[in-house]
Amino acid sequence: MMDFFGAIWSILVEAGPWLLGGFFIAGLLKEYIPQDKVFKHLGHDNFMSVFKASIIGAPLPLCSCSVIPTAASLKQAGASRGATTAFLIATPETGVDSVGITYALMDPLMTILRPISAVLTAIISGCLVNNLNLPPEEKVDDEKSCCASTTQPAKPSIVLAFKFGYGKLMADLAPWFIIGFILSALITMFVPDNFFGDVIPGGWLSLVAMLLMSLPMYICATASTPIAVALIAKGLDPGAALVLLLVGPATNITTILIIKQLIGKSALRVYLVSLAGTSLIIGYLVNILYSKLDYDLADRVVVGSHQHVSFYSEITGAILGALLIWHFIRSFFKESIKKQPSK
C-alpha cells in the first residue's frame, strides 16, 4: 500500500510545478484569445485554414469532450469541415498543461515530439477531409445541440483566468487525473518489469495494440501522461506510448457520436482512419528515432522514484493533490444532490 501511495506522490511532486503553471496559462489563453478573431481565419477549404486551426487548437486546454462546444462555435461561425476536424484533433491531443507534465515525467525529446505530432496529425486529417469528395453534411440544429451556448463572455481579467484555470478547468479534469494517477500506480505495482518486452513484442504489434486500446478510452491529454509513463517503465516502446498520447485524448465513444453530428458521417470516417493511420506512422518513426539515438526512455521516466526532490516541488505537489481531491469531492456531492428527488 505504501508503494501505491508512494508512486502517486512521486507523480504529484514531479508534475506539481508544471501542472499548476499550465493551468494558469490555460486560464490566460481562455480569457485573452478573442474568439471572434479566431473564427474568421478558419472558414476556407484550403491548407491555411486547416494549418491555422491546428496551431490555434494545440495550446488550448480542452479535452475530447470539452473541445466539442468550441468546435461547434467554430462551425457555426463558418469554419470549414477540414478546419473543424483539425481543431478537434489538435486541441485534445496536446495543450500547455500536457506539455508541462510531459517534460516533468518524460524527457525533452518527447516534450517536443508530442505537440509536433499532434499538429501534424491534425493537418493531415483536416486536409483529407477538405480535399476528398465527401457528400454534403447534414444540417445540425445547433440550438438543440449540447454544444450550444447562449452565455455572453465577460471582460477578460487575471482573476477570471485564475478562476477558470484552477476552478472550472481543474474541476472538469480532476476525476480523470485521479483515475490516471491510480492506474499509473497500479501498473507500477502489479505489472512485471519488461512486461511489454516479454509479452508484446516491439514494433508494429505494440503500436497496433496501443491504438486498439486507445480508441474507446476517455482520458484527457494530461491525465494520459502518467499512464503512458508507467507503461514505458514496464517496457513499452516510446512510439507506442505516443500512439496512446495521440489517440486516447482525441477519441472516445461519446465524442465520436457527437463529432458525427458536427462534421457528418463521411468526414467522421476520414477523421478516424487518418488519425489512426498517421498516429501509427508517427509512432513507428519515433521508435526509429529513439533507436538511432540509442536512448532508453524507460531510464528517464518518473514513476514511483524516490530521488531527492526540492521543498518547492513537494509544496506544489501537495497543493495539486489537495486541489484535485477538493474538486473531485465537490463534484461528487453536487451530483449526489442533483440525483436526490425533489420534495
Task: Find the mean pLDDT for residues 190-214.
Answer: 77
Tens digits of residue pLDDT in 109-136: 999 999 999 999 999 999 998 887 666 5
Q: What is the pLDDT, as a whole number, of residue 204?
A: 87
Q: What is the pLDDT, as a whole number, of residue 306?
A: 46
Burial call 99-117: b when 16+ CB within 10 Å, e when fewer: bbbbbbbbbebbbebbbeb
User: Given pLDDT bands bounded at 50, 70 and 90, which one contains residue 43?
Assistant: low
User: Given pLDDT bands bounded at 50, 70 and 90, which one contains residue 172?
Assistant: confident
Going by C-beta distance under 8 Å and a sequence separation of 6 or more, which residues neighbour residue 306? 6, 10
The residue type at 300: R
User: Given pLDDT bands bounded at 50, 70 and 90, which one contains residue 97?
Assistant: confident
**pTM for the complete prediction?**
0.70
| pLDDT surpassing 70 at residue 315 | yes
User: Given pLDDT bands bounded at 50, 70 and 90, which one contains residue 308?
Assistant: low
Q: What is the pLDDT, as a whole number, of residue 17?
A: 79
Task: Find the mean pLDDT for residues 7-12.
Answer: 80
More confident residue, 186 or 113: 113
Going by C-beta distance under 8 Å and a sequence separation of 6 or more, which residues neighbour residue 299? none
Going by C-beta distance under 8 Å and a sequence separation of 6 or more, which residues neighbour residue 266? 134, 135, 137
* Beta carbons of 286 and 160 less than 8 angstroms apart: no
| pLDDT surpassing 80 at residue 322 | yes
Tens digits of residue pLDDT in 62-80: 766 567 666 766 776 677 8
Q: What is the pLDDT, as a whole number, of residue 114?
A: 94
Q: What is the pLDDT, as a whole number, of residue 149?
A: 46
What secondary structure letter does DSSP report for 298? G
Tens digits of residue pLDDT in 226-280: 888 888 888 889 999 999 999 988 886 666 776 777 778 888 888 899 999 999 9
d(CA 329, CA 183): 19
Domain that holds residue 190: 2-339
Task: Find the mean pLDDT for residues 177-185.
Answer: 77
Q: What is the pLDDT, as a whole number, of residue 51?
A: 94
Going by C-beta distance under 8 Å and a sequence separation of 6 or more, which residues neighbour residue 224? 180, 244, 245, 248, 249
Sole residue written with cell 510545478: 17
d(CA 181, CA 219): 12
d(CA 98, CA 100): 5
Residue 282 to residues 5, 129, 200, 204, Cα–Cα distance (Å):
34, 20, 19, 11
Q: Cell numbers of 269, please? A: 470516417
Q: Around Cβ 242, how many Cβ atoms within 10 Å?
A: 25
Helix H segments across the chain? Answer: 2-32, 35-39, 47-57, 67-76, 81-93, 96-105, 108-131, 158-163, 170-190, 195-199, 204-214, 221-233, 238-250, 253-263, 265-292, 311-339
Q: What is the pLDDT, as a whole number, of residue 150?
A: 44
Q: What is the pLDDT, as a whole number, of residue 304?
A: 52
Task: Find the mean pLDDT for residues 24-52.
Answer: 75
| pLDDT surpassing 80 at residue 206 | yes
| pLDDT surpassing 60 at residue 146 | no
Going by C-beta distance under 8 Å and a sequence separation of 6 or more, which residues neighbour residue 303? 7, 10, 11, 105, 184, 188, 226, 229, 230, 233
Task: Find the mean pLDDT for residues 79-87.
Answer: 86
Task: Find the mean pLDDT for residues 172-185.
Answer: 78
Which residue, 170, 144, 138, is CA-closest to 22? 170
User: Given pLDDT bands bounded at 50, 70 and 90, which one contains residue 143?
Assistant: very low
Taking every pair of Cα atoms in the chain, the longest distance, rounded to a whole number of angstroms, is 68
Which residue, 2, 15, 1, 104, is CA-closest to 323? 15
d(CA 285, CA 277): 13
Helix/strand number for the chain, H first, E second: 16, 0
Q: What is the pLDDT, as a whole number, of residue 18?
A: 73
Task: Find the mean pLDDT for residues 280-299.
Answer: 91
**Per the structure, how many domains does the chain have?**
1
